[in-house]
Amino acid sequence: RKRRICVLGSRQVGKSALVVQYVEHHFLPKYYPTIESTFHAPLQYHSHPYLLEIVDTAGQDEYSMLASRYAIGVHGFVLVYSVASRPSFEMIRGLHDKIMAYYGERAEVPCVIVGQKQDLVEQKLATRQVTPQEGQALAKEIHASWIETSACSNLNVSKVFDMLLEDVER
């Protein structure tokens, strides 16, 4: 069973770091802008073999349209913001609106909202600009799941994809 997952979010929020940590089990310490990469990750879900095809997209901004290639055949979305960046969080609703415009307002599109870079706040290397309560409230409002992660310390990374697959298979 193959499931196509699309990872969206603004620039430098840790999308690639999240995907690489999940698929290749290592952290990308340096920032390299992504054009678009596709990763494949086999996993067992309820004792069935699955293959996740994860599309790691280029960073979006509020003016970029959601390319239809990011929506065609996609089973679920991971919407990533940085807990140390209020603008990246504020973009999540806009991204979700674009997804819903593509699929139709009544569609049930599995999404997990991910607050990334939690380690920077823990280590006092950055100031938290988005509270967990705000993340949870947005997720509830748009009927998505929510979790905070750190690709650097591998906190909750696999949980993101487990949660999304659970929503996809529901």
Say what the pLDDT of residue 65 is: 63
Per-residue HEC secondary structure of the chain comes to: CEEEEEEEEECCCCHHHHHHHHHHCCCCCCCCCCCEEEEEEEEEECCEEEEEEEEEECCECCCCCCCHHHCCCCCEEEEEEECCCHHHHHHHHHHHHHHHHHHCCCCCCCEEEEEECHHHHHCCCCCCCCCHHHHHHHHHHCCCEEEECECCCCECHHHHHHHHHHHHHC
- pLDDT at residue number 32: 81
136 φψ region: left (φ > 0), alpha (ψ -120 to 50), beta (else): alpha
Domains and CATH numbers, the chain: 2-169 (3.40.50.300)
The tens place of each residue's pLDDT in the chain, 170 residues long, gives: 999 999 999 999 999 999 999 999 999 888 887 788 999 999 999 999 999 999 999 888 766 767 777 788 999 999 999 999 999 999 999 999 989 998 988 889 999 999 999 999 888 889 999 999 999 999 999 999 999 999 999 999 999 999 999 999 99
pTM: predicted TM-score of the whole model, two decimal places: 0.94
Confidence at residue 9, expressed as pLDDT on a 0 to 100 scale: 95
Structure confidence at residue 79 (pLDDT): 98
